[in-house]
Chain A
């Protein structure tokens, strides 16, 4: 049994959970108050629509199906026909639904409805996607930087099912590193975002997906995709090293988790990457074995003789439905926690461990849950970390307000920015919309008018 720490913990060391709760509450309230007062009108309308959708499951389903199919529709008429079919499944028509249903059925109005539908989907996509190409996204990335947020770019794409597609994705990643490295040189200095106590933090930060690099990912044969992915990944690591960028390898579903983790740690151990680049991986707190996974990563980090500490982005995980459904259909124990609160608790446990081992790894707390964020900030402060030693990450389109509040509070933030066209972005967009309108979403709760304090108590 661990001994009970005194309530009055010394300011230099980590405090027991209960003692930091009061500070978390205070910081959470302050961050909530720092929401920008002047807001983009279409964003407000968009938030209201999201709140409306979140309350009506059938409407929510119809909207997702519309967004999902929009890029595949040949023209406005076809989109309207889909909308009409989706809405016919909605039993209780609220006034806006009834109006849309009439418009998508009426012959004269159908074309116009389809066009409005396209425009709406495009507008929604524009909220989450910063640009179609790295070059066209560069101005928006610069604006984020100037507003006090670092960035990480994620290139959206179709699923990789062929070797050509894997190569094309690797080429795009490579070009992105070069393009953004040139663009970022013109950015103004932002000392908070560019250096922590371990050294330089690259301005250019690219997130890559291993399953997009190779069509050979087979859950039951990780070795098949490994060699192919390794070739592409080495090339990107070299480029990142040469242009001084950070390469972050995203985590996806359990089917590729072990492969990605083993592959990345192995590559980073290779002699040519000892001096760089700065690189990172992702830990998903909703996985029941995420703490064991962390054990392995920390063992590796302790033994690895690399010049730059590994960055670990801590997320809750975006494939909960997928993991749960797949497990139920195959008769497996779901690899994820079934209760949200269990994930939230695991998230805080891992947060504390990442901070406790500082400076072995660079922690990046990626969450829109104000409690999770405030907990990390308070815990890190009490553990004696400097402000710049804790990174806080948000998603473009979902966490923009939070990012502004973090910047106003003097904290170091980074915005994850998808880049790509609408067809390719749809899977991402639908997932983000689902996330934003799900009942247990922190953001949806807030937009829906839930009281703040209960959301800030310890999970």
Chain B
């Protein structure tokens, strides 16, 4: 762990042999489908399938048959994690880090297979699936190093006659409630942040991506994480709710919708009978992200950045751009080119190289998109959509530009989590900032401007957690762009950043009087 952190290299997919390796991995994964995802508690596996994950591009293909955790499983898992927290928490940080480094190695060894799994189970296009796996590896390597640094503790003021030390103790049991949109990275990140700091973990993956979660847990176990320290609890909302309510849970690390996040915070605030601690919630929730385009922007750069930010992974990233706030002087030009660029997008299954926009995760997402686009259209907004759509019953939604929607329209106000971009004219950057300031969400924002003063001013006043200047709004890298939102987008935690681990520890200060009989001893 003495080496400095470096991001895991992405696959160089512009080289044909790299692509062939991934396609071979996909064939190998396909040959093993459907996978079985059991409940895993203290190393023992219970396999009684009760729900399935499917390929969103071809829902008849079952990716995994998973076993839903019961209330009893949840209770067993929390108790096991409590026991594990004592021994694992007492293990030196450097030893924990060494074990996690082995887990990173395991993920690295299986990277092609894991990317293929994310392609199948969540319809992540190849480049994004590969980036998802790399980010998972990054989280492991980064948090393991950070935990060692944290263990050394900060220096306190020392005066003659006393010795002051501060160290960080694991909080105990961490419930990880993970999303499907970064099925490998985010589940891994929250889990290893807890493990690196010595906590026991109960992982409840999204019901859409249990197979990806199983791969993570297997990698951790193979690497030598104690079996009691990591439980896998597949299931739907009830499993998460049981975890949140359990008096043995200390920290809840959640990434998902604002609605669920707020409910978790309410439930966590209320101590259960017998609970002797305050639960802490790490919440990363939604966004309604704007990309501001000033009049001096280079439209050659703006158009591809907007297309990638709004339609990459069909807009199913919390960082995705869903509003373009464009200077009125250039909006006609930008809109014309955007519409033309939209027409070049290829919608199709995620496993095909060259597909720009994959299917959405489930049928209800498509219905949500259609509802919001339909409302905008009947409200008089101009709607431009990709016309050539794939046949079959995959969950495809047409990439959509909406221009001239009313400011109170759902397409302007709500998080859509789909391939829809609202394009709005603004008088100047100031007006764009006012619109952003009026929002409840504050996750990411993009700004295209070539005036350093404009950039400085937007950076000063923006409420968002991550501002991207002259680039797209997605693709935060561990250690480079610590990621997380403010306001209703989250409680300001920054995944992949230097202070993230603080949410998983408790500081303890020991002050010893070293004066005896008037002498310093």
Contact = CB atoms under 8 A, between A and B. Distances in A.
B451 A82 contact: yes
Interface string A62-92: 0001001100111000100110011011000
B329 to A, nearest CB: 6
B340 interface: yes
B344 A330 contact: no
Given A82-B451, A161-B337, A220-B353, A73 B296 contact: yes
Contacts of A85: 451-453
A30 interface: no
Interface string A348-363: 0000000000000000
A218 interface: yes
Contact of B127 (A65, A81, A220): A220
Interface string B303-318: 1100100000000000
Contacts of A72: 295-298, 450
A182 B212 CA distance: 64
Nearest to B456: A85
A194 interface: no
A443 to B, nearest CB: 27
Contacts of B300: 158-159, 161, 427
Contacts of B452: 85-86, 88-89
A218 B450 contact: no
Interface string A51-68: 000000000000001001
Contacts of A255: 14
B354 A215 contact: no
B450 A161 contact: no
A355 B220 CA distance: 59
Given A220-B353, A331-B6, A162 B13 contact: no
A254 interface: yes
A200 interface: no
Contact of B340 (A65, A161, A216, A332): A161
A331 B329 contact: no
A330 to B, nearest CB: 5
Contacts of A322: none
B73 interface: no
Given A163-B344, A331-B7, A220 B450 contact: no
Given A81-B451, A82-B450, A86-B452, A220 B341 contact: no
B344 A220 contact: no
Interface string A241-271: 0000000000000110010000000000000
Given A223-B354, A258-B16, A215 B298 contact: no
B299 A220 contact: no
Interface in A203-243: 215-216, 218-221, 223-224
B298 A162 contact: no
Contacts of A331: 6-10
A78 B296 CA distance: 9
Contacts of A440: none
B12 interface: yes
Contacts of A74: 295, 329
A220 B19 contact: yes
Contacts of A81: 451, 453
Interface residues of B, number: 37
Contact of A220 (B6, B14, B303): B14
Given A82-B451, A220-B13, A331-B9, A162 B353 contact: no
Given A68-B450, A162-B337, A330 B10 contact: yes
Nearest to B342: A162
Contacts of A89: 452
A427 B301 CA distance: 11
Nearest to A73: B296
Main secondary structure of the interface of A (DSSP, over half): helix
A72 B340 CA distance: 21
A129 B223 CA distance: 61
A228 to B, nearest CB: 9
Nearest to B10: A330
B481 to A, nearest CB: 12
Contact of B296 (A69, A158, A215, A330): A69
B340 A258 contact: no
Contacts of B6: 331
Given A161-B304, A163-B344, A215-B341, A220 B126 contact: yes
B341 A162 contact: yes
A165 interface: yes
B208 to A, nearest CB: 25
A233 B343 CA distance: 21
Interface in B1-24: 6-10, 12-16, 19
Interface centre among B14, B295, B344, B453 (most CB of A within 10 A): B14
Interface string B329-371: 1000000010111011010000001101000000000000000
A164 interface: yes
B303 A161 contact: yes
Contacts of B344: 161-163, 215-216
A239 B370 CA distance: 47
Contacts of B14: 219-220, 254-255, 258
A78 B340 CA distance: 29
B451 A158 contact: no
A126 B340 CA distance: 31
Interface in A111-168: 158-159, 161-165
Contacts of B126: 220
Nearest to A214: B344
Interface centre among A81, A88, A164, A218 (most CB of B within 10 A): A218
Contacts of B307: 161
Nearest to B125: A220
Interface centre among B303, B339, B451 (most CB of A within 10 A): B451
Contacts of A254: 14
Contacts of B354: 218, 220-221, 223-224
A165 B450 contact: no
Contacts of A258: 14-16
Contacts of A224: 346, 354
Nearest to B300: A159
B346 A332 contact: no
A73 B15 CA distance: 40
B496 to A, nearest CB: 16
| Minimum-distance CB pairs A-B, first 7 | A162-B340, A221-B354, A331-B9, A220-B13, A219-B14, A159-B300, A224-B354
6 contacts: A69-B450, A82-B450, A86-B452, A161-B341, A162-B341, A163-B343
Given A162-B341, A220-B354, 12 more contacts: A72-B298, A82-B451, A159-B304, A161-B303, A161-B340, A162-B337, A215-B341, A218-B353, A220-B127, A221-B353, A223-B354, A331-B6
